Amino acid sequence: MTSSLGSDPDRLLPADPGTRAIARDLLAQVEDLPIISPHGHVDAAMIFNDTPFPDPATLLVSPDHYVTRLIHANGAPLERLRVGGTTGVEPRETWREFAKAWPLFDGTASGYWIRDEFANVFKLDLGPLDRDQSQETADALYDKLNARLQEPSFRPRQLFKDFNLEVMATTDDPLDDLSAHAALAADPTFAGRVLPTFRPDAYIKFHAAGWAERVERLIGEAGEGVVGYAGYIRALENRRQYFVQHGAVSADHGSRTALTLKIDAGAAEALFEKARRSEATAADADVFEAHMMYEMARMSVADGLVMTLHPGVFRNHHSSTFDRFGADTGHDIPFAVTYTEALRPLLADFGTEPGFHFIPFTIDETVFSREIAPLAGFYPAVYIGAPWWFLDAPDAMMRFRGAVTETAGFSRSSGFIDDTRAFCSIPARHNTSRRVEASFLARLVAEHRISEDRARSIIVDIVDAAPRRAFKL
């Protein structure tokens, strides 16, 4: 490794000189375009309040399960990384653990993003850490980074502008008052768009902690006096409308599988009441969730919210870690999911409905060419979700583009999705995607499969028009 890797203008571009030259030209068409981030997990209140970033460890290590999971796999206890809000060690000690583990990230997507962040956001050199992971080196880098975080130019609002962020979507509880979003929209000094996203998982999954209490509150606040299952549906519809009024363009669903089912209201009500009595089985929960995915599609047809689906993750795989540190702490593990049969009830009724946009994501890349691309190649409603989570890495992105394009072309994809909680990684992730797209298209040009002029048009469409089209922006 050298200190220049994170800022090398040819990073991720093809090794062949001729193809690389084509890729450079294509990248130049899009590298400075505004960032459209229609799905992520940054807190809107942080942007509105212009909250200063904390110390380097709390910003870059502890909340990032991409980072902590690999360090933990190599022997570091999660409490040493301050995971889940634990504070038994000082942030500097956590940073030392990260610095000691830095070689573990060679070849990983996380390592690439971090190097890109340091070079292009923080303007710091990781060369010393590449050569030496001693405590002294770690402390020197920590102090430099900590000083940079104190600068006024490193507050969220200024970075939002510097990142050239045009649109950033958050992920929000259905009963959130969205006050931060409203305040940002009304603030004449803030030029960007921060949009809420309706995320009802905790109100749909029977076994989510506090489900019954949460649902009672939902019905009480938004059910308009209607009780039971009917009040539950009414309340969800009303809250979706509230989100639309506050600028939301999509509703996101982290379902266990991609299964969708159309069952009658009586059967759904019976399952709903069974869950309220704490009598529902895991099978009951799966059926109800599949039914509610159908219902969410029906609601999207009515209110216009784009429906995104993120299935196929075994959440909280290690129970002891979940009990000690909570969710999103690195032990969510993908499993295989099928889409063709699972989505048929939803697509049979809504797949050709004008104005309905449905974006399925996957962490099982075997389904890109076998199922998702063929579905998007027929149904007007279906857009192909970009590589997500374990797949939002350079090589996986390249495999994705090859897998879906031969069947569905370039026009049926969602555009890049950063899906991040780490605000400072947004430009690095989007730049990664732009470089991969330039490299893929450059190969097609070099092989005389498309013209250079078409490649220039296509890459602009992929980067800029596709997310606007798919997410109705």
pLDDT at 5: 84
Average pLDDT estimate for 99-115: 95
pLDDT digits (tens, 9 = 90+) for 323-355: 999 999 999 999 999 999 999 999 999 999 999
What average pLDDT does range 79-90 have in this prediction?
95
In this prediction, residue 1 carries a pLDDT of 37
253-263 mean pLDDT = 97
Mean pLDDT across 195-221: 97
pLDDT at 6: 87
Question: In the predicted model, is pLDDT for residue 68 greater than 60?
Answer: yes
Please say if the pLDDT value at position 108 is more than 50. Answer: yes
What's the pLDDT band for 134 if we cut at 50, 70, 90?
A: very high
DSSP codes joined into one string, 348-393? HHHTT-TT--EEE--S-TTHIIIIIHHHHTT-TTB-BPPP-GGG-S
Q: Dihedral of CA 418/423/425/428: which sign? A: positive
pLDDT at 421 over 80: yes
User: Quick check: 385 pLDDT over 70?
Assistant: yes
Residue 182 above 50 pLDDT?
yes
What are the tens digits of pLDDT across the range 16-55? 999 999 999 999 999 999 999 999 999 999 999 999 999 9
**What's residue 45's pLDDT?**
97
- Here the tokens at position 276 are 């309220």
Q: Which amino acid is at 24?
A: R
In the Cβ-directed half-sphere of 241, how many Cα atoms lie within 13 Å? Answer: 9
Q: Mean pLDDT in the chain?
A: 96
The residue among 180, 173, 179, 282 whose CA lies nearest residue 221 is 173
Q: In this model, does residue 110 exceed pLDDT 50? A: yes
Q: Examine the pLDDT at 2 and tell me if it is beyond 90.
A: no
Per-residue pLDDT, 390: 93
As a whole number, mean pLDDT of residues 63-70 equals 94
- Residue of 272, 222, 261, 264 whose CA lies nearest to 243: 222
Instruction: Give the percent of the chain with pLDDT over 90.
Output: 97
pLDDT score, position 380: 98
3-state secondary structure (DSSP) of residue 276? helix
Report the alpha-carbon distance of residue 83 to residue 61 in Å, rounded. Answer: 9
Distance separating alpha carbons of residues 145 and 66, to the nearest angstrom: 20
- What mean pLDDT do residues 163-169 have? 98
pLDDT at 361 over 60: yes
The DSSP H or E segment spanning 252 is: strand 250-253
What single DSSP character describes residue 116? H
* Mean of pLDDT values over 150-154: 94
